[in-house]
Amino acid sequence: MITKLEQMFEALNNKAKKKLVAAWANDSHTIQAVSMAIDKGLIEGVLVGDKDVIKETCDHEGIDINKFEIVHASTDVEAAAKSVEMVATGKGDVLMKGLLSTDKYMRAILNKEFGLLPPKGILSHVTVIENPKYHKLLVVGDVAVIPQPDLKQKIAITNYLVHAARSLGIEKPKVAVIAASEQVMPGLSASADATILSKMADRGQIKGAFVEGPLALDLAVDEESAKVKKIESEVAGDADCLLFPNIEAGNVFYKTSTKLSDSELGAVVAGAKVPAVLSSRGDSTQTKLYSIALAALMAN
């Protein structure tokens, strides 16, 4: 089982290399991350963007441009379209966002001609967080894509979290469905949905995981809190995955973890035909490298 983000690199060294296609890969952070991933033997890399800018960036950073396949595109929209087309036609296994805005990236993924979303598919953001105050990795969602998920979307998010956790070697992930309290309160949608999800897992409608909810955050991640409140479950105090009720709760947790707890992370968009790396344009090279590794693991 992978308990540190760095351990993903070793896990990938034992697998066939996936080909990553980076859209509008003109910036040094994206090129450095893809370069490092290639050097570590994790992937093969395609950079789609302005050839001259890519060459200039590689020269400035001292990176050998010959390690990449380069596909020229004059604009960010063209680069996104070409990248998605490559993946849709089997010329790539993983998609990555470079120096273009999230809305243009997502629009290309959703494009009907070469889009990567299956019929009735649901896209969701999956983040793996390494928090020094927790004893293992936490797989969380959704912190960036679905503002107010309904029950159908929460089922999809749960399945994506489970898939990510299993990709990290967790045989039967423990999913905590987060609400303000562990008490079942039918009037609160977060509580009612959590109860339904928990029962669905009990009856095999959500497979391959322990799902428990509603659980307050302290009960999900703190064994002592679970003992004090006399909550007995497979999940309480030892969650692998956290399903948040809405984007506000998830995003606040994500930013608190990174800004106040020195957490590291990797993140992808799940639900498309291939994993799509959706790191922020301001994310560090290390975060992008972890995101590439996570996407490559989930693509296997």
- Domain spans in the chain, listed from the N-terminal domain onward: 7-117+272-299, 124-260
User: In 3D, which of 141, 150, 238, 147 has the Cα closest to residue 196?
Assistant: 150
In the CATH scheme, what is the homologous superfamily, with its name and number, of domain 124-260?
Isopropylmalate Dehydrogenase (3.40.718.10)
Quote the CA–CA distance of 282 and 101 in Å, as a whole number. 11
pTM of the model: 0.94
What string of pLDDT tens digits covers the 300 residues of the chain?
999 999 999 999 989 999 999 999 999 989 999 999 999 999 999 999 999 999 999 999 999 999 999 999 999 999 999 999 999 999 999 999 999 998 999 999 999 888 799 888 999 999 999 999 999 999 999 999 999 999 999 999 999 999 999 999 999 999 999 999 999 999 999 999 999 999 999 999 999 999 999 999 999 999 999 999 998 899 999 999 999 999 999 999 999 999 999 999 999 999 999 999 987 766 788 898 999 999 999 997
DSSP E strands in the chain: the ranges are 18-23, 43-49, 69-72, 94-97, 124-130, 138-141, 174-178, 210-215, 241-243, 264-270, 276-277
The CATH architecture assigned to 7-117+272-299 reads 3-Layer(aba) Sandwich (3.40)
